[in-house]
Amino acid sequence: MNVGITLIEVSDLVKYYPLTKGVFRRVVGWVKAVDGISFTIPPGLTYALVGESGCGKTTTVKVLLQLEEATSGHIFWKGQNLFKLKADGRKNYREDVQAVFQDPMSSLNPRMRVKDIISEPLIANKRCSKGEAFSRAIELIVDVGLQREDANKYPHEFSGGQRQRIAVARAIALNPKLIVLDEPVSSLDMSIRAQIMNLLKKLQEQYGISYLLIAHDIGTVRYMSKYMAVMYLGKIVEKGLSSQVCSRPYHPYTQGLIISACPVRPGEKFGAPLPGEIPSPINPPSGCGFHTRCPFAIDCCSNTPPPWMELQPDHFVACHYYKEHGSIAADEIQEHLNVSLRGVITI
Amino acid sequence: MSVLEVEDLHAHIYTQKGVVKAVDGISLKVNAGETLGLVGESGCGKSMTCLSIMRLLPRPNGQIVGGRIMLDDHDLVQMNEQQFRGIRGRLISMIPQDPYTSMNPCFTIGNQLMEPLRTHLGLRKSGLIERAKQLLDLVRIPEAISRLKNFPHELSGGMRQRVVGAIAVSCHPKLILADEPTTSLDVTIQAQYLYLIKQIQAEFGMAMIYVTHDLGIISKVCDRVAVMYAGKIIETAGIAEIFQQPAHPYTQALFSSIPPIDHDVDWLPSIEGQPPELINLPTGCRFFDRCRFAMERCQGKYPPEFQVGKKHFTSCWKYVL
């Protein structure tokens, strides 16, 4: 990605949480929630972070929304260091970056009317008068596919999908540059998911907003995002164009994820799943964090962190296997994936 | 040979707002060794169907108001509670959705694993421990003997759900009802669990009803699929037909609204609107107001079941000439 056109650049971001013991809260260890990740979000596009629970995607979001302080590393917002911004700049940043959360039941105040929920950011940031804010709220309500009359209702009067629409309207009220979508559709029913995803895509085109999408469903990520990064144990293991990563995953973990989620064709058996469970982030394995479960692990995986390699333009993977075997390994591993996907490895 | 036959089952839940017709006249059959997938969105009655079969509907508000549930020669609806206790956990067992709430946090997993063995199979002492150990080995939990003394909170979600699975198969039931057992698990752990379930099922030859809304899972574990919408089964078909030629407009729309993993799409066709409320059901087809092919007669009368292929049935007026 070209550095000149990035909206936000995260570089070597680290977030450790202390583990304390005793009355004096002596620090006895660290939970390495996010352990040195870097990515850049281009303007007007969607960047996705994928991974299983505990891989650090939500912690990344918390740091990005300035709800947590980073242990080390930098975030550059339009070229400026976010952690060194003055009160003024911070306020602007908070207006420019909004969020939509997973559960619209708990992220909307049950005692506020819809128009109050949506106009609150406008009024709090003194963008306009109360009257103007209400009329803008009505416009937004129509924009997200609800009825004008819904403005005076309370959140409990809506279904899950409609509530998520309200949350989206609130997020776009300030014309932000970036919206963080933390699992925006995973609490919704299947037929409603497509409605919300299409709404988000429509609004992106209309307003030119960037999205940072956090998800665990590969299908959602592929549909919504241009770029994606796969996280495992606080680190990014593979990143690149979503369509490339999904159709030609290189990292064994990405392959495992995709094999696990992909439907098998009728009459075929499904491939062997990845063995083992995710290790604890308190004492993550040395070297490559994935070597304990990796079917291709070699000696150096357990002691040296894997280097980044660009195997295709704009498609990076952190894996020793490719360092050792180069592009031959890429074909070989791809062969393995095809075999697993087609289910020749039977039970 | 069918293990379970459900005929015209009606289950209602009585609330202050009115009668919720959670299960509204469904019929299904499960053959020995077969896995039937029960698919649908939340509130379509798939969990209520399972709870009716287990006779575990919420009391006193939930009730089976009509129909028959035949397990071999036993009519489960007519049985009294005393008789049914010999069936529940012995001939039919259930794997509930959330392993965090389905196990009792005050008892060790050994204790909970041995309970059905003691009550149904009459095992005692060393035989009991031996069998419990075998079951944990079966679900691939290492160091089984020491694990028996663990409490549920000492296990990870995936392991806990495997213990729940072990409890479910402990008495070699004829039928297992799996109610979205992997929704609370991570994707790779989910794949391990499905793999294990299929292996155990093949080994014991049990029949299974697998409730889910995930197409990836359906394609991996099911032999036949029944799609539910607003309390009714609208389509049943073999696993190949349901993916290749879904017949009911709802099934078609549902399948095409799920973003694919293996290829790109520019725009997903979504189903607009919401499913009807189960308190206030329309007289005609329940998918009427969201259906692309809706005709006049769809509104008047509920469509009968119509055969569209070998073992492929659907309730839609489109196919009735």
Rounded CA-CA distance A86/A89 in Å is 5
> Nearest Cβ partner of A219 from B41, B42, B260?
B260
Q: Dihedral angle at the C-alpha atoms of B231, B234, B236, B239, nearest 10 degrees?
A: -90
**CATH code, domain carrying A74:** 3.40.50.300
Q: Does A241 touch chain B (CB under 8 A)?
A: no
- A205/B247 Cα distance (integer angstroms): 35
Q: Does B261 touch chain A (CB under 8 A)?
A: yes
pLDDT of A346 over the 50 cut: no
**Sequence-distant (≥ 6) Cβ neighbours of residue B85 within 8 angstroms:** none
| Residue A335 sits in the same domain as residue A189 | no
Partner residue facing A274 (CB), from B156, B188, B239: B188
CB-nearest to B213 from A190, A195, A278 is A190
A193 lies in the same domain as A257? no
**Among candidate residues A277, A280, A262, A265, the one with its CA nearest the CA of residue A337:** A262
**Burial class of B174 by CB neighbour count within 10 A (0 to 12, 13 to 18, 19+):** buried
Chain A residues with beta carbon closer than 8 angstroms to that of B194: 270, 273
The amino acid present at A98, given as its one-letter code, is Q
Single-letter amino acid, residue B139: V
A214 and A253 inside one domain: no
The nearest CA of chain B is from the CA of A267 a distance in Å of: 7
pLDDT at B111: 93
* pLDDT greater than 80 at residue A264: no
DSSP H stretches of helix in chain B: 46-53, 81-85, 99-102, 109-121, 125-138, 144-147, 157-169, 187-204, 215-221, 239-244, 249-256, 296-300
Q: Are residues A88 and A136 in the same domain?
A: yes
Q: Is A260's Cβ below 8 Å from some Cβ in B?
A: yes
Contact state of A257 with B188 under an 8 Å Cβ cutoff: yes
Average pLDDT estimate for A139-154: 93
- Write down the pLDDT at residue B160: 92
**What domain count does chain A have?**
2
Residues A150 and A39 grouped into a single domain: yes
Distance of CA A342 to the CA centre of its chain: 29
Among B257, B227, B220, residue whose Cα is nearest residue B242: B227
ipTM for the predicted complex comes to 0.86
User: Residue A239: inside a domain, yes or no?
Assistant: no
* Higher-pLDDT residue of A44, A322: A44
Domain boundaries B2-91+173-275, CATH class: alpha beta
Residues B197-231: b if buried by 16+ CB within 10 A, e if exposed: bbebbeeeebbbbbbbbbbbbbbbbbbbbbbbbbb
Which chain B residues have a beta carbon less than 8 Å from that of A347?
A: 195, 198-199, 202
Q: Do A215 and A303 lie in a common domain?
A: no
Q: Which of B140, B180, B187 is most worth mutating to test chain A (most A CB atoms within 10 A of its CB)?
A: B187
Indicate whether A270 and A199 sit together in one domain: no
Give the pLDDT of residue B264: 86
**Residue A62, pLDDT above cutoff 60:** yes
Q: Which residues of B touch A265 (CB under 8 A)?
A: 219, 243
Amino acid found at A86: K
- Which region holds residue A22: left if phi is over 0, alpha if psi is between -120 and 50, else beta? left
Residues A162 and A119 both lie in one domain: yes
Flag if A194 and B194 touch (Cβ within 8 Å).
Answer: no
Residue of B nearest to A199 (CA): B270
The SS3 call for residue B155 is coil
Judge contact between A68 and A59, C-beta under 8 A. Answer: yes
Give yes or no for A123 touching B (CB within 8 A).
Answer: no
Contact criterion met (CB below 8 Å) for A276 and B191: no
Query: CA dist A343 to B62, B129, B197, B222, Å?
Result: 43, 38, 17, 16
Separation between Cα atoms, residue A58 and residue A35, nearest integer Å? 13
Cβ proximity of A63 and A13 under 8 Å: yes
Confidence of residue A269 (pLDDT cuts 50, 70, 90): low
B268 shares contact with chain A (CB less than 8 Å): yes
Phi first, then psi, for residue A66 (nearest 5°) are 65, 30
pLDDT at A326: 63
Q: Which residues of chain A have a CB within 8 Å of the CB of B254?
A: 190-191
Half-sphere exposure of A184 (CA within 13 A, CB side): 31
B46 vs A269, residue with greater confidence:
B46
Q: SS3 letters for B264-297?
A: CCCCCCCCCCCCCCCCCCCCCCCCHHHCCCCCHH
The amino acid sitting at A50 is V
pLDDT single digits (tens) B74-95: 899 999 999 999 999 999 999 9
Contact flag A277-B254 (C-beta cutoff 8 Å): no
Q: Compute the distance between CA of residue A39 and CA of residue A63 in angstroms, rounded to an integer.
A: 14
For the CA atoms of A242, A222, A218, A321, the dihedral, rounded to the nearest 10 degrees, stands at -20
* Cα angle, residue A160 at apex, residues A154 and A165 outer, rounded to 5°: 75
Q: Does B268 contact A257 at a Cβ distance shorter than 8 Å?
A: no
A345: pLDDT strictly greater than 50: no
Q: Is the pTM of this model over 0.80?
A: yes
Phi, psi at B237, each rounded to 5°: -160, 165
pLDDT at A1: 46
State which of A230, A258, A291 marks the end of a domain: A230
Query: Same structural domain for residues A182 and A253?
Result: no
pLDDT in tens, B285-301: 999 989 989 998 899 89
CB contact under 8 A, A216 and B220: no
CA distance B202 to B109: 25
Q: Look at the alpha carbons of A238, A240, A246, A248 in this order and tell me if their dihedral is positive or negative.
A: negative
Query: Would you call B203 an interface residue with chain A, using a CB distance cutoff of 8 Å?
Result: no
* pLDDT for the residue numbered A4: 54
What residues does B306 pair with on adjacent strands? Answer: B314
Rounded Cα–Cα distance for residues B80 and A98 (Å): 57
| pLDDT band for position A329 (cuts 50, 70, 90) | low
Find the helix packing angle between A190-207 and B249-256, rounded to 10°. Answer: 50
Which of helix, strand or coil describes residue A211? strand
Q: What is the dihedral of CA A50, A298, B155, B205, to 10 degrees?
A: 90
A197 near A223, Cβ under 8 Å? Answer: yes
Of B51, B60, B44, nearest in space to B92 by CA: B51
What pLDDT is stored for residue A2 in this prediction?
Answer: 46
pLDDT of residue A312: 85
Decide if A169 is inside a domain: yes
A189 contacts chain B (CB < 8 A): yes
- Domain extent, residue A277, equals 248-342
Q: B210 and B178 in contact (C-beta within 8 Å)?
A: yes
| The token pair that represents B227 in the structure block | 């799609």
Would A347 be classed as within a structural domain? no
Rounded mean pLDDT, A100-107: 89
End-to-end CA distance of chain B: 33
DSSP A228: E
Query: pLDDT category, B210, cuts 50, 70, 90?
Result: very high
Whether the CB of A216 is below 8 Å from some CB of chain B: the reply is yes
pLDDT for the residue A3: 47
CA B60 to chain centre: 23
User: Is the separation of the CB atoms in A79 and A145 below 8 Å?
Assistant: no
- Indicate if A281 and A226 belong to the same structural domain: no
Residue A88 shares a structural domain with residue A217: yes
Question: Could you tell me if A200 and A291 lie in one domain?
Answer: no
- Is residue A270 scored above 80 in pLDDT? no
Q: Indicate if the pLDDT at residue B119 is higher than 50.
A: yes
Residue-averaged pLDDT of chain B: 91
**Span B302-309, mean pLDDT?**
91
Q: Are strands A315-318 and B74-75 parallel, antiparallel or unpaired?
A: unpaired
For residues A101 and A180, give the distance between their C-alpha atoms in angstroms, rounded to a whole number.
Answer: 8
B156: closest chain A residue by CA:
A277
Whether residue B313 is predicted with pLDDT greater than 60 in this model: the reply is yes
From A115, A165, A163, A166, select the one nearest A138 (Cα to Cα).
A115
Q: What's the CA gap between A222 and A170, in Å, rounded?
A: 25
Is residue A238 situated within a structural domain?
no
Residue A258 vs residue A229, higher pLDDT? A229
